[in-house]
Amino acid sequence: MTLTKDITQTTVNVQSEYGHLNAILLHRPGIEIERMTPSNAAEALFSDILSKHIVDKEYASFSGVFEKWCKVYYVEDLLTLLLEEDDIRQRLVVACCKLDDCEHLEDWLLQLPSAELANALIEGVFYHGDTDPARFRDSRFTLKPLYNLFFTRDASSSMYNEVLINSMSFRVRERETLIYRAIFEQLFHANIVCAKDAHSGARTEGGDVQIAAPDLLCIGQGIRTNTKGILYLADKFAKERPHFRILTQELPHHPDSFIHLDMVHTFLGAHQLMVYQPMIDKTGVFAGKATTLITCDNGKLNYKEYPNMLAGLKACGMDMEPVSCGGLDSWYQDREQWHSGANFFALDDGKIIGYERNVNTIESLNRAGFEVLDADDVCSGKVDMHDYKKFVVTFKASELPRAGGGARCMTMPINRD
């Protein structure tokens, strides 16, 4: 079956964080991650530079698990297919060049074969002194690489039967949204929504948006998703549905490990949550950070504060058992949260994947009833995930966590039961 025919059989439909996963969008980290230096890492939103040689091995274990479980689409494959259409190719190249202020590259880019053009839009285009304006000299790139593209969660988010094209907080990630919008509009024929289309100051990112239930979103409010972005979603659902709820958690703006809600709170299934305990206790950087339930009733918005996310979810009919990131010791909670110890992704109810390195968190999951499976054993066929009722697949990673995200950050589910 060709990729085109395969796509036509896949519809965007994600009603929860933990329904059985049928299709997902991933991106293998490419040459773009080697185009960071200590001097431009901060601009690229990284705190360190990565070794692609090691990342390749780590990501192969990660993506290999999904290939054993569901239909996997890769961004570079879909983008190459998309660029076979002349009108789409024209619109996308023009939009990308306008965004990066390099319109002089348009004709050259449009002459490239589709695979080469896809690579250029992802990996960037080097500065050439004989053809490019001098203003690009210091950055080395005329069209900048998409360093963060393997975090497929952030720029686009499946939300029920729509795709939320997020309005990114940093310019270095804006081109990602152009690519995802084209992919989901043109290949999956998805309904697109975008906060920025309604209000230029509204900001949302996928790491902050979690689908708790068909009528309930959990959203983080912090450095990446702002109040205007949340109110855009509240107004949208208030117009479309007689009853809808959004449970918001205020996040600290520093340090960088708290950029998204899924760095402190992820669904493990219908009845269990991975949580960073200070968020629940409202201690440390979470002292004074509000948890607010926005209820949309017949077009009107009502607000009520709760002590924490667990109390808010319980008020919405979801009595969740917490599992503590890092275990019970606050020292290990902080250490493991720093490297995405709370950031898990559910393949199904009670069937999850996350970093092996967070050993205290994995021990907490094991005590909570999760069988611990090794990703390499899954990929080799030594272990079959379908033989287990409840499990956590752990994959070895030293480089990937240094990029500032975990399993949920690197996934964009397209279809769940």
Structure tokens at 54: 């090691």
pLDDT of residue 5: 66
Q: In this predicted structure, what is the pLDDT of residue 40?
A: 84
Check residue 199 and give its pLDDT: 80
d(CA 101, CA 117): 18
**Euclidean distance between CA atoms 133 and 118, whole angstroms:** 23
- Domain membership flag for residue 110: yes
Distance, in Å, from the CA atom of 251 to the CA atom of 410, rounded to the nearest integer, reads 21
Residues of the chain predicted below pLDDT 50: 1
Flag whether 235 is in a domain: no
Q: How many domains does the chain have?
A: 1
Give the pLDDT of residue 48.
Answer: 86
Domain membership of residue 84 (yes or no) is yes
Task: Dump pLDDT digits (tens) for 344-389.
Answer: 999 999 999 999 999 999 999 999 999 999 999 999 999 999 999 9
- Does 227 reside within a domain? no
Predicted TM-score (pTM) of the model is 0.96
Question: Is 150 contained in some domain?
Answer: no
In a domain, 351, yes or no: no
The confidence score (pLDDT) of residue 56 equals 97
Residue 50 domain boundaries: 3-143
- Residue 237 is encoded by which pair of tokens? 């659902």
How many CB atoms sit inside 10 A of residue 385's CB?
18
Is 75 part of a structural domain of the chain? yes
pLDDT of the residue at 1: 39
pLDDT digits (tens, 9 = 90+) for 64-86: 999 999 999 999 999 999 999 99
Is residue 284 a part of any domain in this protein? no
